[in-house]
Amino acid sequence: MAQRARLDNLMALATKPDLSDQIGKWITWLKVEKNVSPHTLRAYINDVTQFLEFLHDHFDEAIGINTLSSVRLSDFRSWLSRKSMDGLAASSRARSLSGVKNFLKWLDKTGVMHNAHIGNVRSPKLPHKLPKPLERPQAFRLLDLDHTDTDWQSLRNSALFTLLYACGLRISEALNLNISDLPRDGFLIVMGKGRKERQVPVLPIVEKTLTVYRASCPFAETPDRAVFLGERGGRLNQGVAQKAMRDVRGLMNLPETATPHALRHSFATHLLENGANLREIQELLGHASLSTTQRYTEVNAEELIRIYKAAHPRSST
């Protein structure tokens, strides 16, 4: 609500009607055509809002389509420099630039305007980060928690975490599932990024934990009801799921890197360790590019080096 009020205030005071109209159309396109996650939508809106606020102060005028099309390379660099001086990390600056590029690219594709300089703006250099999966014993302990006589929300968390690890889903993909999407004939149809569907095989343990959770859930099932519900019966919020994982990892003494998304990393890493090839893992994860999936080979190489150094009799000489 606060973000929407800020955007409305910006469009009323700092942007001209022609640009305000296009911002509204772009947001609709992100929601309907691109089917971006709520998290991505919030991030993109915030990125563009901050950029336009900067331009409003930078040029000391309300920003319209003509002004936006004439923004120079030096202006883009000034905006990123301001973010750096404000203490934003390179990853945050890169994400902000991505949101602004998305908006300007959409304006270009729809024939509204073209900015000749945005393509020359270099993204801040990011440190090379590898996925941080759980070790297999840690993942198994997480899935083998004793849920005898526990409440329905604990059973929900167990079913959710099992689904993430056993099927490699993104947390947003799992939380967007409805009752009508539940597994059939051993497979789950998942709607991924860019409204791309993929078919994921489902292990018996997934169906078992889902069945136990559904039997305990106090809310009636309809085809369009969310599978994973919050305390009051609405669709489970991603922040609640993340907090549940923090609580579990505290009880089990798991590392801080144990997050819902780490279960997806664990799924891919453990498949690779057991002989699955990259193309198969790419298909299961729903990665558009094989290069994204290839990060998991680096994880395996790091682990191999660690084991080699620990085990080789001459490693310390």
- Residue among 170, 249, 265, 270 flagged as catalytic: 170
The pair of three-digit structure tokens given for residue 47, joined into one six-digit string: 């990125």
39 is catalytic: no
Q: Which of 16, 82, 193, 295 is catalytic?
A: 193
Is 60 exceeded by the pLDDT of residue 311? no
264 is catalytic: yes
**Catalytic site residue from 6, 101, 147, 261:** 261
The predicted structure's pLDDT at residue 305: 53
The arithmetic mean of pLDDT across residues 242-257, rounded, is 86
Closest listed residue to residue 164, CA positions, set 259, 239, 255, 98? 259
pLDDT score, position 313: 55
Q: Is the pLDDT of residue 172 over 50?
A: yes
Q: Is 193 a catalytic residue?
A: yes
The stretch 18-43 carries a mean pLDDT of 89
What pLDDT score was predicted for residue 276? 77
Identify the structural domains of the chain with CATH numbers, from first to last.
2-120 (1.10.150.130), 136-310 (1.10.443.10)
pLDDT digits (tens, 9 = 90+) for 78-114: 999 999 898 888 888 998 999 999 999 999 999 999 9
Burial pattern 218-240, b for ≥16 Cβ within 10 A else e, equals eeeeeeebbbbbbeeeeebebee
Of 156, 264, 265, 270, which one is the catalytic site residue? 264
pLDDT of residue 141: 82
pLDDT band at 155 (very low <50, low <70, confident <90, very high): very high
Q: Any catalytic annotation for residue 287?
A: yes
Q: Is the pLDDT of residue 160 over 60?
A: yes
- Asked if 296 is an active-site residue, the reply is yes
Is 261 an annotated catalytic residue? Answer: yes
Q: Which of 93, 249, 265, 287 is catalytic?
A: 287
